Structure 1
Amino acid sequence: MKSGWMRGIIILLVFVLGLSIGYFLPDRKEKMDVPVASVGDEIITELMWLNQLKEDYGEQVLQDMIDRKVVFSEANRLGITVSDKEIEQEIQKMRKAYENDEQFLNSLKEQSGTTLEQLKEDMRYYLTWEKLATKDVVVSDPEIEEYYNNNLYLFQEPEKVHAWQIVVSTEEEAKQVIRELEEGTDFSTLAKERSMDLLTANQGGDLGFISLNDSYFDPSFLEVAFSLKEGEISSPIPVEKGFVILKVTEKVKERIIPLDEVKDTIRKEIALSQVPSLPQVLDQLRKQAKAQILINDNGK
């Protein structure tokens, strides 16, 4: 999923809410001439702001609106749909790159300025576009099996553990946390109360599933995590911020993902390799729909 599409959604919202109101309601244009920011004695008005957005991103947003209309109209004509389940499956693939849901959502907001709902809409557009591109391609089961057997390394999942952490500043504090845990205090409760790592503290210390080759963590940290048994709590581990107490709640052995779990993904990959590039497909759809931008560079 390209981040440009995500940014386009946000720009589109501002554009539609601001400019459409401004140009269709006679008295709105005057109301838009109100300050939204100041730099010393200079004022930036809402109208100036929106006009700048139009100048910088207007054509990009308009083209995105056209492309979405073209894709969804053609899909509707052909009876092609994308289910909520398909969208969720794709989002779950993206989530795997993050430690937990909160980190995933924060990354969406910080890197592309989008929300989960906006991502879902972008995903529906992209998957519909893919389905249109591959609608006439037939991929047989033997082709899928051959691809799977020839590319087993692509479907290898490393050993993983579900780890939880509490980060404190001193070794003495870490030992105190361990004593409280041994006395029966809930790990997640202590993480929320004591852990200095605010991102995981809010999740009760949940780091999610981590693998032994995870570059995000120090090798010594990973060594301890993978040496623990399920339910076991570590001794204090020195880290840059202080000391960590780890707990492992689940261990998953290394495996090759079964063909049944990746069959649809392989089918799509093979189909996409047999059609023109997605931008070429979109260009064909635009021509077929006689889609065009009716304004010039000056917006007239």
Structure 2
Amino acid sequence: MSRRLLWGIIIVLLITNIASILILTNGSGGNMSDIMDEENLPKEVAKVGNDTITADQWIKSLRSAYGEDYLKSLINEKVVFQLAEEYDLAVNEKFMERELAITETASGIISEAEREQLRKEWKDDIQYTIYRDELLTRDIVIDEQEIQNYYSQNQDRFDFETSYQLSHIVVDDENTAESILDALNNGQAFGELAEQYSIDTYTNQNGGYLGYFTNDSTYLQNIYFTALNNLEPGQFSEPFETTEGTVILYLHHVIPEVELAYDDVKKHIRRLLAKQKLKVEPSVEVLWEEVGVEWIY
């Protein structure tokens, strides 16, 4: 889970808890800006039997539990991006595409609008990580030959192969498959039909979702990739026979390949090798003095 996503979840939970408590206490929702304004909080935010929890107790507890760590994360982010701008740091575009592609393979089924928004968030997280590691390892000297050797030994690891996001429905016989095909052609959702009919107990409760696969995957039978040749994203296949049963395949999305040359990954390898030479990974806080951080809170 990314740093941004983790803190986002924490903040959402905190806001949700604030709203819930006040709704229960006051009997109405109120305006969210009022809810989050400490001056508008009631003196008591909850009653527990004969006891009460005051707003002051609650706010202090939240700050104690989450406030300092979250504030540090915000400071760290600003420090890293300010120094990245100062030192004119940049991320190789093809390397960024490869990192975004890898991240997307763990995203599940999402809409194009969600994908566009998530890619912006992923890009911010990836940039932060790269800039942070570049800044924290900038004084460590790595010989060019060492970088070249690492690339030669691990070259295949840096390319991203075309990946297909798939779901399937597996049934016992062709007649059932044809009935499902009719339902699909009439607009019924693939996931609903998978839950209802698929005999694949590993995927049917998830709408038949398989995940992302490359052409050299050994998890799926070769006939799956033959069926893919006739599909565009958003399309389903004609039924085909496998050793597991009769299958209808659905193609959600395709992430194209990304091939990286030495120059595309040289800085990444330097960071990897430099971090290996660190006995203890330093905190971003060692960079605070360069920017000038005043801890007010």
- Say whether the 8 Å CA contact 2:164–2:251 is kept in structure 1: yes
The equivalent residue for 1:176 is 179
Q: How far apart are the structure 2 equivalents of 1:187 and 1:230?
A: 23
Distance 1:92 1:41 in 2: 55
Instruction: Please say if residues 142 and 273 of structure 2, whose CA atoms lie closer than 8 Å, have aligned partners that are also in contact.
Output: no
State the aligned residue count: 258
Structure 2's unaligned 5+ residue stretches are 19-33, 196-203, 231-236
1:6–1:119: 8 Å Cα contact kept in structure 2? Answer: no
For 1:225, the equivalent position in structure 2 comes to: 224
Would the aligned equivalents of 1:161 and 1:249 in 2 still touch at CA under 8 Å? no
What letter is aligned with 1:282?
V
What's the counterpart of residue 74 of structure 2? Answer: 65
Partner of 2:101: 92
How far apart are residue 57 of structure 1 and its match? 1.1
Q: Deviations over 1:84-107 (max 9, x none)?
A: 8875553222113456546xx79x
SS of residue paired to 1:151: helix
| Equivalent residue for 1:146, pick from 149, 160, 170 | 149
TM-score by length of 1: 0.56
SS at match of 1:91: helix
Separation in 2, partners of 1:37, 1:236: 61
The residue aligned with 2:63 is 54
Instruction: Give the TM-score taking structure 2 as reference length.
Output: 0.57
Q: Does 1:3 align with 2:2?
A: yes
SS for the counterpart of 1:167 is strand
Spell out the pairing of 1:122-271 with structure 2 (5 A cutoff). Answer: 122-133=125-136, 145-155=148-158, 162=164, 164-167=166-169, 171=173, 172-178=175-181, 180=182, 191=190, 194-196=193-195, 208-210=212-214, 213=217, 222=221, 224-226=223-225, 228=227, 230-231=229-230, 233-235=238-240, 244-246=247-249, 260=261, 263-271=263-271
Query: In the alignment, is residue 79 of structure 1 matched against residue 84 of structure 2?
Result: no
Shift of 1:33: 2.5
Identity of aligned residues (%): 21
- State the SS of the aligned residue for 1:80: coil
Select the residue among 281, 284, 287 that pairs with 1:282.
284
Query: What one-letter code is carried by the residue in structure 1 that aligns with 2:66?
Result: Y
Shift, 1:140, TM fit: 8.3
Aligned-pair CA distance for 1:81: 5.0
Cα deviation, 1:205-256, whole Å, max 9, x if unaligned, reads 8955445546xxxx5x5354246573363436687xx9742368999xxx9x
Q: Tell me if structure 2 keeps the 8 A contact 1:38–1:44.
A: yes
How many angstroms apart in 2 are the aligned matches of 1:271 and 1:89? 17
Specify whether residues 38 and 162 from structure 1 end up closer, same or farther in structure 2 by C-alpha distance, changes over 3 A only: farther
Structure 1 alignment gaps of length 5 or more: 19-24, 107-113, 296-300
Distance, in Å, in 2 between the alignment partners of 1:224 and 1:41 is 68
Answer whether contact 1:166 1:194 (CA < 8 A) is retained: no
